[in-house]
Amino acid sequence: MSEKEKMLAGKIYDPSDEGLALRRSETHKLCKRYNDTTEDEAEKRTEILNQLLPNKGKGAYLQGPVYFDYGVFTSIGKNFYANFNLTILDCCKVTIGDDVLIGPNVSIVTPVHPLRYQDRNMRVKKDGTVFDYEYAKPIIIGNNCWIASNVTIIGGVHIGNGCVIGAGSVVTRDIPDNSLAVGNPCKVIREITEKDGIELRKDLF
């Protein structure tokens, strides 16, 4: 297996691999270009975003700044919105459904490092290249989700359809469909039902 194949399969891989390092470098440059644009440069933003995220649906909007490791391993559905400071470390596949809203300062991180420092610490190859042992786990976010501000989603997590993840949460395990989930670690508080419809909130009208 190539280092890329190992990475996407969730195996231990070498992040210093030349092909992976080159792809990350190109992606980081695209992020920098995107982050240097302003909201009134829509055409320029679209051109950069098409290169950065070739697997995105119609109507995707990223406020910026944005930070991706690879971009090509992230799939985004239609009508996606991300507020300021979105970070996606897509060393394994990140799949985001349709009509997903992302608050500011959200991190979606697939990489995992060994618990033992003997396995985790940096190593040096004979040619002087520094590397570490790393692996990654995929992340799935379903349709119609709202991920509130300052949320961190850890590799291996599947968030179901119609979920709301409360501000500041750290999601370390799967969240079932239509759940309101909050906390560190993130836990399901209750199911979201028709009783939560805004038409029932007289104080809002």
* Per-position DSSP letters for 160-191, written without gaps between them: -TT-EE-TT-EE-S-B-TTEEEETTTTEEEEE
Question: Residue 4: which region, alpha, beta or left (left: phi > 0; alpha: psi -120 to 50)?
Answer: alpha
Catalytic residue among 11, 29, 113, 123: 113
Structure tokens at 22: 């080159």
Scored b (16 or more CB within 10 A) or e, 156-173 reads bbebbbbbbbbeebebee
Judge whether 158 counts as a catalytic residue: no
Reported as type and span, the H/E element at residue 28 is helix 18-35
CA dihedral sign, ordered 111, 116, 121, 123: negative
Q: 23: closest CA among 63, 75, 68?
A: 68
Residues noted as catalytic: 113
